[in-house]
């Protein structure tokens, strides 16, 4: 068991001002696998003070040198990839083979990509008689979620450090252990004191203290839309910059000329990836009414292959959810789907067979879902797919756009130009066409209540930069 009684502030491991500890629970066994400090506002004050004191010097470090530090951190994370994968599989429940590829391998790639980008980015440019400067926004508070605990951390701190900002990180208290590995890696590189700081604790205490703190210049938050609203309210008091990556209810539109077996299988895989605990998951499958029965059968057949089981087993495709509370939330949505008369095609709220321990939920598929049903409107964050039928392309687009969210989406058609035309009509931050793969250099973020701001590539770097115009004599 990993027990951390310290936080990382000003380049040192120091005891929290609070004696309290938060238990970290193994999602598959329900056993305590670690403990971290239950931080308090005084810890935030210390971390923000350290970051504030370090900012002037760090922002003055040449960009090439900052990039070198990022490369060192990337190498340190890569060296501990196996430990990271096992840790996150235990915390979150993602099958180990996926954790190795996603939870462990992606963060060093993201860190290295920002090192390369920093070396290439034009931090100043001439516009007529003006010199336009891109300068770091200041001290950044990064508040991150539990579903991709290290990946989401690195997606924030890599561009922030590359830009010349200093950082205070609050990881999710439900999956904080990989953040401690990151802090150990940072410490081993010799990164200047105060540039990176780590404070654990709950959202209502540490998160709110950061959002309201007068010494923080920017909040970058990933989490629920409800929590994002609260962060925005608190940050508004000091007119901080706020970047939010929130919930989603993404639609996969399968047009009548698409490769149905491929499209439906891919949509189910997206919906059930990380046990459905993915904000950009394709949780609504939109199919033509004339091909509904075919699509429903394909979806059920694909979903049957996601048998819940031990996430450390090589054969497991569906691990547990993060917590008992999340499991009960997802079961509640399944019950709501039945109450609103959606057709249950597979799964249900009953516990999976032969799994007496762990926060497991059956892979569930609902058919004949109407657009206004709760399971078609609200983010479930579990392995629950809703199939909706549409009459024509215009109705498909209307249904896809008819939620408060706009994070992701997909369009499938044998005619790529037609798919692109439909993609342009979707009010969402990213759209995959015929299974287009994730691109680390492309912007990631949402429309509407899925948030604002972008991560990854130069778009992510620019979130952490202020723009200054210097007028020169003619």
DSSP letters for 195-262: SEEE----IIIIIHHHHH-TT--EEEEES-HHHHHHHHHHHHTTT-EEEEE----EEEEE-TTS-HHH
Instruction: Indicate whether 156 and 285 sit together in one domain.
Output: no
Q: Which of 38, 91, 173, 245 does the annotation list as catalytic? A: 245
Gap between the Cα atoms of 401 and 406, Å rounded: 8
Q: Which of 165, 200, 271, 279 does the annotation list as catalytic? A: 279
User: Does the annotation mark 245 as catalytic?
Assistant: yes
Q: What proportions of the chain, in percent to the nearest 5, are helix, strand and coil?
A: 45, 20, 35
Instruction: Indicate whether 208 and 256 sit together in one domain.
Output: no
Looking at residue 416, its pLDDT comes to: 97
What percent of the chain stands above pLDDT 70? Answer: 100
Q: How far is CA 375 from the centre of its chain?
A: 21
Gap between the Cα atoms of 152 and 144, Å rounded: 6
Instruction: Indicate whether 221 and 351 sit together in one domain.
Output: no
User: Does the annotation mark 125 as catalytic?
Assistant: no
Crossing angle of the two packed helices 81-92 and 177-189, in degrees rounded to 10: 160
Taking the C-alpha atoms of 454, 459, 465 and 468 in order, what is their torsion angle to the nearest 10 degrees? -120
Q: pLDDT tier at 1 (50, 70, 90 boundaries)?
A: confident
**pLDDT tens digits, one per residue of 298-334:** 999 999 999 999 999 999 999 999 999 999 999 999 9
Instruction: Indicate whether 116 and 7 sit together in one domain.
Output: yes
Instruction: Indicate whether 69 and 181 sit together in one domain.
Output: yes
Instruction: Indicate whether 275 and 159 sit together in one domain.
Output: no
Number of domains, the chain: 2
**Domain assignment of residue 443, yes or no:** no
Mean pLDDT over 135-147 rounds to 98
**pLDDT tens digits, one per residue of 21-70:** 999 999 999 999 999 999 999 999 999 999 999 999 999 999 999 999 99
**Domain assignment of residue 445, yes or no:** no
**pLDDT tens digits, one per residue of 366-414:** 999 999 999 999 999 999 999 999 999 999 999 999 999 999 999 999 9
Instruction: Indicate whether 314 and 209 sit together in one domain.
Output: no
What is the CATH number for 462?
A: 3.40.605.10
Instruction: Indicate whether 100 and 235 sit together in one domain.
Output: yes
Instruction: Indicate whether 171 and 289 sit together in one domain.
Output: no
Instruction: Indicate whether 238 and 307 sit together in one domain.
Output: no
**Domain assignment of residue 460, yes or no:** yes
Q: What residues make up the domain containing 338?
A: 250-438
**Domain assignment of residue 6, yes or no:** yes
Looking at residue 445, its pLDDT comes to: 98
**pLDDT tens digits, one per residue of 176-200:** 999 999 999 999 999 999 999 999 9
| C-alpha distance from residue 251 to each of 349, 353, 394, 412, 428 (Å) | 23, 30, 14, 11, 10
Using the predicted structure, report yes or no on whether residue 71 has a pLDDT greater than 80.
yes
| C-alpha distance from residue 84 to each of 10, 106, 323, 459 (Å) | 24, 11, 20, 27
pTM for this prediction = 0.96
Instruction: Indicate whether 418 and 274 sit together in one domain.
Output: yes
Instruction: Indicate whether 206 and 275 sit together in one domain.
Output: no
**Domain assignment of residue 444, yes or no:** no
What is the CATH number for 345?
A: 3.40.309.10
Mean pLDDT over 231-241 rounds to 97
Q: Would you call 446 helix, strand, or coil by DSSP? A: coil
């Amino acid at each position: 068991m990993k027990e951390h009684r310290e936080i990382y502030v000003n380049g040192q491991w120091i005891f929290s001002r609070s004696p309290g500890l938060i238990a970290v629970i193994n999602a598959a066994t329900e056993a305590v696998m670690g403990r971290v400090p239950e931080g308090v506002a005084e810890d935030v004050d210390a971390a923000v003070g350290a970051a504030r004191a370090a900012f002037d010097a760090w922002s003055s470090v040449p960009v090439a040198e900052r990039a070198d530090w990022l490369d060192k951190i990337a190498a340190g994370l890569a060296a501990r990839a196996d430990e990271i994968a096992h840790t996150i599989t235990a915390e979150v429940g993602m099958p180990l083979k996926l954790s190795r590829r996603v939870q462990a391998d992606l963060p060093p790639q993201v860190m290295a990509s920002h090192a390369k980008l920093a070396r290439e980015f034009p931090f100043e440019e001439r516009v007529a008689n003006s010199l336009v400067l891109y300068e770091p926004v200041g001290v950044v508070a990064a508040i991150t979620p539990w579903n991709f605990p290290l990946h989401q951390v690195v997606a924030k701190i890599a561009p922030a450090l590359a830009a010349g900002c200093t950082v205070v990180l609050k990881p999710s208290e439900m999956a904080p252990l990989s953040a401690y590995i990151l802090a150990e890696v940072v410490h081993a590189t010799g990164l200047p004191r105060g540039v990176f700081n780590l404070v654990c604790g709950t959202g209502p205490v540490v998160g709110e203290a950061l959002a309201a703190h007068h010494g923080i210049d920017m909040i970058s938050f990933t989490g629920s839309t409800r929590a994002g609203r609260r962060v925005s309210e608190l940050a508004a008091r000091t007119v901080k910059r706020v970047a939010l990556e929130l919930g989603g209810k993404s639609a996969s539109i399968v047009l009548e000329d698409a490769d149905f077996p491929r499209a439906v299988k891919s949509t189910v895989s997206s919906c059930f990836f990380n046990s459905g605990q993915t904000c950009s998951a394709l949780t609504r499958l939109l199919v033509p009414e004339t091909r509904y029965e075919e699509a429903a059968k394909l979806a059920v057949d694909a979903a049957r292959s996601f048998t819940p089981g031990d996430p450390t087993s090589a054969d497991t495709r569906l691990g547990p959810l993060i917590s008992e509370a999340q499991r009960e939330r997802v079961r509640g949505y399944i019950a709501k789907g039945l109450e609103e008369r959606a057709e249950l095609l597979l799964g249900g709220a009953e516990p999976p067979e032969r799994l007496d321990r762990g926060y497991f939920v059956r892979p569930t598929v609902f058919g004949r879902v109407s657009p206004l049903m709760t399971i078609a409107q609200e983010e479930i964050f579990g392995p629950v797919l809703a199939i909706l039928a549409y009459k024509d392309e215009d109705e498909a687009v209307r249904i896809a756009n008819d939620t408060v969210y706009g994070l992701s989406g997909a369009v499938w058609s044998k005619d790529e130009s037609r798919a692109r035309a439909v993609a342009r009509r979707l009010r969402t931050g990213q759209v995959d066409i015929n299974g287009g793969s994730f691109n680390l250099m492309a912007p990631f973020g949402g429309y509407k209540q899925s948030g604002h701001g972008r991560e990854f590539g130069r778009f992510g770097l620019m979130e952490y930069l202020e723009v200054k115009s210097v007028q020169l004599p003619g």
